[in-house]
Structure formats: C-alpha cells, structure tokens
Chain A
Amino acid sequence: MISPLDRKLLRDLAKMKGQVVAVSLVMACGLAMMIMTRSLILTLESTRSTYYQQNAMADIFANLKRAPLSVAERISDLPGVAMVEPRVAVDVTLDLPGLTEPATGHIVSLPEDGGPQKLNRVFLRSGRFPRSDDRREVVLGETFANENGLSPGDSLVAIINGHRETLSICGIGLSPEFVFEARAGETLPDHKRFSVIWMNYRALAVAYNLDGAFNDVCVDLSPGAKAEPVIEEMDRLLTPYGAGGAYMRKEQASAQRLDDELRVLHSLSVLYPLVFLSVAAFMVNAVLARIVRLQREQIAQMKALGYSSWQVGFHYLKFVLVIGILGTIIGGFGGRVLGEKFVDMYKTFFRFPNLLFQMDYSALAIALLISMGASAVGVLSVVWQAVKLPPAEAMRPEPPADFKPSFFEKIGLTRFFSPTFRMALRNIERRPWQAVFTGGGLMLATGLMVLPGAMSDSIDYLLTYQWNSVQRQDVSVFLTEPTSSQGFHSLEHLPGVTHAEQVRSVPARLKYAQYERKLSVTGISRDCTLNRLLDESGKPILMPDEGLVMSKKLAEVIGADIGDEVEIEVLEGRRPTLLVPIRGLVTDYAGVAAYMDLTALHRLMKEGDTVNGAYLSVDQKHWDEFMRELKDTPRAGFVMVKRDQLAAFRKTTGEMIGMISGLYLMLAIIVAFGVVYNSARIALSERSRELATLRVVGFRLSEVRGILISELSMIVLSAIPVGLVFGRGLALFIMSSFSTETVRMPIVIKSSTYSLAVIVVLAAAVISFTLVSRMLGKLDMVGVLKARD
C-alpha cells in the first residue's frame, strides 16, 4: 500500500519527468564512466593476476649475447632467486605465402630437457607442445595465427640464421610475457606481421650456435625477496656475457603497457565521475529548491495536519533518492555496455586466455552512495529551510525576491541596457552559484566536445608528421647481425630501391647525473634524407660531427639540455664509454632515441663501415619483386614497412579513438542538453509569473521567449569560450596521461574541432530552448497571475 505522501511523490515526479530524466542522465554519465572504468580495472587486474600466477610470469628478465647454461645455475644459487629459466630468444623473418612483405617471428625456446616451462608458461589454446625430439614443430602465437588463418597442422617458412626452414605448427598458444604482443620497440601491435613462436631449445640453439648456452633468462623471486639486489648480482654475473642489464617485470614491454593502461583507467575513474556528479548534484539541488519553493504552502499544510518536520523532510529527500536510483540504474547499465565494448577492444591489444568483462559491483554501490550523498548534501539546506518554517508563516505568500542593481549598472553602464537585459543581469547576480554551475555544466559539455576532435586532430598530425615528415623511407630493414658495408650494398641493390641510407645502432647505457637509461644509439649519415630528425619547429636537425642528438622527451626525463655532457656506455663489442655533449633535441612521439653521426659512431666503436640496418625508398612499380627478394635476404632480421604500420595503426588505435570519440560526443550532448533544458525549465517555472505578466501587458510570445532565454543565452555564450579553453586543458591532461616514454601524443587542435564543439553545444541549447518555449506557449497567463506566489 503506497502512502499518500508517496503517491504525491510519484505524481510530482511524473509532472516533472523531463527534468527527472535530464538530471538522471547527467548523473548516469558520471556513474557509467565510473562503473565502466572501475570494472575495466577489476577485469584487467584480476585477469592479469590470475594469468601471471597460473602461468608463472617471471619477476626479472635479462637478455645477453651468449652464456653457458652453467651461468644459469649460478643465478639460481643467488639469494632471493626461486627459479631460473634460461632460454634462447631470436628474431627471424617469416615468409608467408599470402603476405608480400616479410613478417617477423620472435622465437623463444622451450626448456632444453623437454619438460614443461618453469616460467612464462605458454597457455595452449589448441594443439599440443612440440615433441621433445622434434626440430621443426612450433607453437604459434594466437593472434598471428588468427590473422593469417593458420592452425595446427599448417606450416610456415622462417629464415633461421640465414636458412629457410619450414616449420610445422603443432599448437597455438599465448604467454603472460606477451600479453601485449609487439616487436621490440614498436608501440602498436601488428598481429598480421609479428608473432611469438615457441620451439624446442635444441633446434633453435644449434641453429644459432647457442647449444649448451642461452641468450635470454627469466627469474622468479622467492616470496618476499627484493628485486634490486638480485638484479645487481645478475648484472655482475651476466655482464661478461654481453648482457645489457637485467630488468624488473614492471620494465618488461608487455607488462609496462598493461600498467600504463591501468594507470590511465585509474586516473579516469576518479576525475570524470567527480565532474559529472558535481554537475548532477547541482542540477538536483536546483530542481529540488524549486519544488520546495513551489510547494511552500503544501509543506505548511502537511505540517498543519500533523506531519513531523522529519516526515516532510524525508518526503522531499525521496525525490533525490528516486533520481539517484534512476541515475544509478541507467549508469550501471551504460557502464556495463560500455565496459563490454572496451573489453572487446582490449582484446585487440591485450591477449589473455580468457578476458571476460567483470562488473565491479562495489563500484555500483559506491556510485549509488556518492550520487545520493552528493545530491542529498546539496538539497538538505533547501529542505531544512522549508520544514523549519512555522506552518502559519509558510502559508503566507513569500515576499518579493530581493534584488539590487547589478555590478555593470553600478559602474554606470545602465543607460546601455534595456529593462529585459537588466532583468537577466540581475537574475544572474542574485544567484551567482546557479549561473556558475549552469555555466560549469556547459563548459564541461563544450570541453568534452573538444576532446574527441582534439584526439583525432592530434592523431592526424602524428600520422602526417611521422609518416610524411620524419619517416620518409618506405621500408626500414634491420639485420640480424652487424655487417660490413657489403651487407648494405646487397640491400641497396634490391630491385626497385631508389635510395638507401645506412644505419648503425648499438645498445648503450646513457648516464646523466643520477639518471640512467638503456637505449639504442643510432648512427646515421649527416646527409640523410629519409629518416629525418626534426626539431620542435619541424626543421631538420643537421647531425653534428661530434655529440649526440636525442629525443626531447629523453632530455626531459634525465633533466639534461643542449650543451650538457652525457656518458654513453656501449653495451656491445668492446663496450667503450664516452662523454658526449648534447647537440640537438628531436621532437618525436614514440620511444626515446639517441642519434650520432655514423662516422663518429664508427670511430667510437673502433670499427670500419659496419652497418646493421638500412632505410630504403622503393619504386612502387617494383614493390612485389622487391618484397620477394627481401624475404630471401638471409640477414634481414626485421622489416618495417611504412604502409603496413600505418594500416595497423588505423586498425587498432584508430578504432579505439573512434570509440572513445563516440563516447565523449554522447556524454557532451547529454550534458549540454540536460543542463540547458533543466535550467530553462527551472527558469520557466520560477519566472512564470513574470513571463505571464509580460504576456498580459502586451508582450508578444516571441518577445517573452526572448526574455526567458536571454539570461540562459548569456550563460551559454559566456560558458562556450571558457569551455573551449577547458577542452584544450582537458585534452592536454588526458593526452598527457596517455603519454609515456613509449608513446606520446602531440597536442594539436584544429579550428574545425572548436567550431564543431560550439555548434553541438549551441544545437543542444537551441533544442532545449525550443522544448521549453513550447511550454511557454501553453502557459496559463491568467491562472498564473491570479495564483499566489
């Protein structure tokens, strides 16, 4: 049995259903974002934790040149080490019949004794592991197999240490080590052209002259053991074997990408909901304040009939509860739908045995509490003021609202203002917070509209910059081993090559003050025209004879600037160490890099004209022929084809950005519409007497409509420019939260993005105004005027 008060509540709510929906939707936007992000965090964290645990993800990783297996035993004796897995890991070129360009395979060996892996255990999706004595059988990475339509029983050709080998696929698998599966140094996955492959140790080790040795090792720590001392000891043991330094799980490429994603989600899970919920709380407050003022007499009557202040107060709080519950239901549902879509998208980037969306129900409960709490706090004072009035006083009409001349009038601008303009100004000044929050909501909507445009503008810029200005080569080829210029000439003379430039890169440790970074120092010739180094203004940097040119980001991270001297310790060959000054800073957006003049690098390495890669421009007419021959080039370790990178980028990141843009667009429209509609509706209700008076004294409907919207228009028009600035700030914040040392986003916002934001917000405002204007047309002039306020 519904009590009479609840019946009143339901009918009152039905009468203001437009506003209830508008407020609930804005609230739902915040809650949906919160529930989505919290659930994605839960999904990723719990799936990751189960996967890492069940498949024994290692704690420490190291790559080296070659060390006998006995060294691995010495590592296992180190205090704090629970398990060691020595392996052979190499990059090979794959030749797939359906693919013109070569693909890259990262082959990791399975344990030498043929037993199960101790660490980074492969999760077998289908098929089986290679037979212990088999030299050709491999387990192929799942995404590559899917993309290229390969399954157990099929075969593929790999160039293993210069020899074409036909490998037979016996299983399809994935590993916790490669949740994010991309070539070393690549920021995006290219599942069609890159795969991790697992094969028996012996087959691989023999091919690379590593039998009885290893060039890659993973370590599991004992419970409670600290990583740093183990790393220190490992470095001491492995440095003589060409190790570049062991690193922790959090520095491992795949794990790092997952961490980055979680970090972004964590920051989004707080900031966004907070902003949306503040706007929603204000809207609830404004709506309820109006109801309470309108129902002043009813409140008095309820109290006169014997209802206690608590009962009456609680009755009005129920309005908030209903809106909050409605918002939570819509937000929960929306959060779930969005979350599921994001999980589907994550599957493109992150490979888990089973990535299933998990709803964070605690977030739902928290969301409900927060939304109710925020709204209730906002309305408590309104309700309290209403219930504390003695009934007799409440039944008397409220005195006219107190106004005073606005600031602009006080400074002598009165004569420029029409009476209606003065009304609007004074109304805004009388309730500045209402104007501030309405403006704030619109600012938020405008800003949200700027964000997706800014993202696609920045990506467009990035693509043009990276693929037209910087990377002008069609293909970059990296050789499996450094070679003399003879190796370069064989690439230079491939069919269709119109221009070729030499590349020599060496792994190095860069030290400056307390900072230390491992990276590649790339030597390029002074007159290079293909892979260009551009400074902040987009001008090519002329490679100095001596000294280093490095990523601006790297300089920022280590706190160095042009002119400062950094120490370079080469981690290859004779391992020379050199102090070099920084001569230039490159604006680049992926990874961090350091460059030297090719000759200077050769001098440093005390080597002849050694190269380990080339940048090539290829005549498109000879493309297929070029690719066919490149596939057969034994030393070509890994090949990056510009147009494939571009396609992969569009497919993965483009899709993600598209989805995020759609989401923000939807949120922006809801907020813009919700805020303007709610404010206009409240203005109509609060000022119905004024507006009816104007109609009665002879103002046309259009004139009265103008007065109704003039105040809101002022707020809309002043909020939009602030919103554009806010949008820029938001884009900066969001995009820099995406930016890491591995990927950065240039921040570029075109004027068309700003224009679109303005148009959408104005359109939402116009639609809201139109809806409210229609109600104005139906206003019962006489009824309103004869009623007591």
Chain B
Amino acid sequence: MNAATPPPPISTGVVFEARKVRKVYQTGEVDVVALHGVDLSLNAGELVCLLGASGSGKSTLLNILGGLDVPTSGELIYKGWNLDGAEENTLTLFRRNCVGFVFQFYNLIPSLTARENVALITSISRNPMTPEEALELVGLGARMDHFPSQLSGGEQQRVAIARAIAKRPEVLLCDEPTGALDVTTGITVLEAVERINRELGTLTVIITHNAVMSEMADRVLHLSDGKIVDSTRNEVRLPASGLKW
C-alpha cells in the first residue's frame, strides 16, 4: 500500500456525547422502541465496534450518530454542537462536512468511475483531499478509472471507503462493511478502514455481527434491546490482517 503522508489527527477529546437517547418508531398502530435511553461517549481517534443481534438497535444508533435520523428524546452532542432536534439542513451540513459512511452494499454510482465517485464528494466538501489521494489510501491507485461494474466487491467497498474519507471527516461510520464480502476481501477492506483510523485519526465506528472484528477495535460496545449492555476496552488492538473467521 503506497501510503500518502498522513495528516495530523483532526482533534482530540470527546467527539460524540449521547445522553438518554431514545428512539421510537411508529409502525402502524404499534410503537417500536429501537433505543431505550443510550448513554455513550466517543472519542477522537478511537476505533469502536458495535456488536449486537439483529434488532438490537445498533443501526438505529449509527443512523442517529451519522445525522441520518434524529432521536425521539435525549441529547446528542457532536463537539459541543447539539444534534438532537436539528433541522434537515443542519443535518445535511453535518453529514457533508463531518461524517463519512460505508454501507454493506457499496452504493457506488454505477455511471461514475472510481475517481469520479470520490470526486462527487470532494466537489462539495470544505477541505477535501484529492480523489487520487483518497484512492491511494485504500490501495486503489491503479484502478481509478474503472467503473463499478469493472471492480470486484472488495474493490467497490474500498472505493466506498475512499469516498467516505476523502472529505477528511471527523467520524467514519461503517455499517456491516464486510457483510457482502468473502473473508480475504473483507480483511483487505478492514485494513483500509484501520489505516484511515490510524493515519487520519478519524473516529471510526463499525457495526457488525461478526464478533471477531471486535479484536481490531479500541472499544467494543454490546447492544441488546436498544441498550448498551456491555462496554469493553481492548488492551491490545489486533491488526486487521491478523483477524480470522
């Protein structure tokens, strides 16, 4: 991996502070409580793994952290900026400037090449790296002018990561980033995530079903029934390349 010189960590200290965050979905006549008052604090440069069964509330939490949704009640503060009850425009700005997302299904624009997919974001960001730098960071320097249909699943996911981090976000949120990949490809993708976290100092939150992945995290949060039931800190972070499942 031909790594570019990493910029200094963006900030230190607490990035997210969640207090008693509740989320209730109204589906028909039934209220579904997805989050039952979550208290959480996430720090700059951390790599956090959210583990939990389906329906445990981890995706809801990630969506709220990423400004894709707002809590029903409770407080969510991003670096002193109150996000609960924020307007749609504020959330759009927050997503545009502060958060990078990676989803299980890469969600690349099929009509744009790898470089252009990244350029799509750099064209609207305040202080982005170049698309080339971002793609180099995920090891795709040689595949920049390929369309998604010409890339493997792992490569597509790495383009998605490059797209997410090209804006130099404070936060990188990954929702099952290896869910659609085989082990080897999955590890390559995780290596890219790890590198971003390490070299750019981006707070990285990974949602997964896969408990093995928690070994590469600084902290592991277990969610169940919309609550954080356990929080463990790893003394030693395993490199992504050392993971096996």
Contacts and interface: CB of A to CB of B under 8 A. Distances in A.
Interface of A: 397, 399-404, 418-420, 422-423, 426-427, 430, 689-690, 692-701, 703, 781-782, 785-789
Contact of A786 (B95, B103, B125, B148): B103
Interface in B116-133: 116-117, 119-121, 123-125
B131 to A, nearest CB: 10
A694 B124 CA distance: 11
Contact of B69 (A419, A692, A782): A782
Contacts of B119: 419
B153 to A, nearest CB: 10
Given A399-B149, A788-B105, 18 more contacts: A402-B147, A403-B147, A404-B147, A419-B112, A419-B119, A419-B120, A422-B116, A423-B109, A689-B107, A692-B107, A693-B107, A697-B96, A697-B100, A699-B124, A701-B88, A782-B68, A785-B103, A785-B105
Contacts of A693: 107-109
Nearest to B150: A402
Interface string B92-119: 1101110111011101111110001101
B95 A400 contact: no
6 contacts: A400-B148, A423-B112, A696-B68, A696-B107, A782-B69, A787-B105
A422 B103 contact: no
B58 interface: no
A210 to B, nearest CB: 86
A400 B96 contact: no
A781 B100 CA distance: 15
A419 B123 contact: yes
Contacts of B100: 697
Contacts of A690: 107, 109-110
A430 to B, nearest CB: 7
Interface string B155-186: 01000000110010000000100001000000
Nearest to A399: B149
Nearest to B96: A698
Contacts of B101: 696-697
Nearest to B180: A397
Question: Nearest 3 pairs between A and B by C-beta?
Answer: A698-B96, A400-B148, A426-B111
B121 A697 contact: yes
A789 B104 CA distance: 12
A427 B111 contact: yes
A697 B148 contact: no
A397 B105 CA distance: 10
Contacts of B110: 400-403, 690
Contacts of A703: 124
B89 interface: yes
A699 B96 contact: yes
Contact of B123 (A418, A426, A782): A418
B63 interface: yes
Contacts of A698: 92-93, 95-97, 99, 121, 124-125, 167
Contacts of A701: 88, 92
Contacts of B123: 418-419
A696 B95 contact: yes
Interface string B20-39: 00000000000000000000
A422 B112 contact: yes
A704 to B, nearest CB: 10
A422 to B, nearest CB: 6
B178 to A, nearest CB: 15
B59 interface: yes
Interface of B: 59, 63, 66, 68-69, 88-89, 92-93, 95-97, 99-101, 103-105, 107-112, 116-117, 119-121, 123-125, 147-149, 156, 163-164, 167, 175, 180
Contact of B149 (A402, A423, A427, A782): A402
Contacts of A430: 111
Nearest to B121: A697
Contacts of B108: 400, 693
A782 B105 contact: no
Most chain A CB atoms below 10 A, which of B92, B95, B119, B147: B92
Contacts of A401: 110-111, 149
A664 B108 CA distance: 44
A698 B149 CA distance: 24
Contact of A419 (B63, B93, B116): B116
B103 A700 contact: no
A423 B108 CA distance: 12
B130 to A, nearest CB: 14
Contact of A420 (B68, B120, B175): B120
A5 B217 CA distance: 49
Contacts of B92: 695, 698-701
Contact of B59 (A689, A697, A786): A786
A693 B93 CA distance: 15
A785 B149 contact: no
Contacts of A419: 112, 116-117, 119-120, 123
Contacts of B116: 419, 422
Nearest to B89: A700
A785 B117 CA distance: 16
Contacts of B89: 700
Contacts of A397: 105, 180
Contacts of B97: 698
B143 to A, nearest CB: 14
Nearest to A424: B111
A787 B104 CA distance: 9
A269 to B, nearest CB: 43
B114 to A, nearest CB: 12
A174 B62 CA distance: 86
A423 B111 contact: yes
A399 B106 CA distance: 12
A690 B89 CA distance: 20
A631 to B, nearest CB: 80
A788 B106 CA distance: 10
Contacts of A785: 103, 105, 107
Contact of A403 (B93, B104, B149, B180): B149
B105 A400 contact: no
A788 B101 CA distance: 17
Contacts of A426: 111-112
A697 B149 contact: no
B94 to A, nearest CB: 8
A419 B109 CA distance: 10
Contacts of A694: 109, 120
A421 to B, nearest CB: 11
Nearest to A789: B105
Most buried by B among A423, A693, A696, A698: A698
B115 to A, nearest CB: 9
Residue among B107, B148, B149 having the largest count of chain A Cβ atoms under 10 Å:
B107
A710 to B, nearest CB: 12
A613 to B, nearest CB: 74
Nearest to A699: B124
Contacts of B59: 782, 786
B156 A400 contact: yes
Nearest to A777: B88
Nearest to A788: B105
A419 B116 CA distance: 6
Contacts of B121: 697-698
Nearest to A414: B116
Contacts of B103: 785-786
B111 to A, nearest CB: 4
Contacts of A697: 95-96, 100-101, 120-121, 163-164
Contacts of B147: 400, 402-404
Contacts of B99: 698
Contacts of B175: 786
A716 to B, nearest CB: 19
Contacts of A787: 105
B123 to A, nearest CB: 7
Nearest to A787: B105
Contacts of A427: 111
Contacts of B105: 397, 785-789
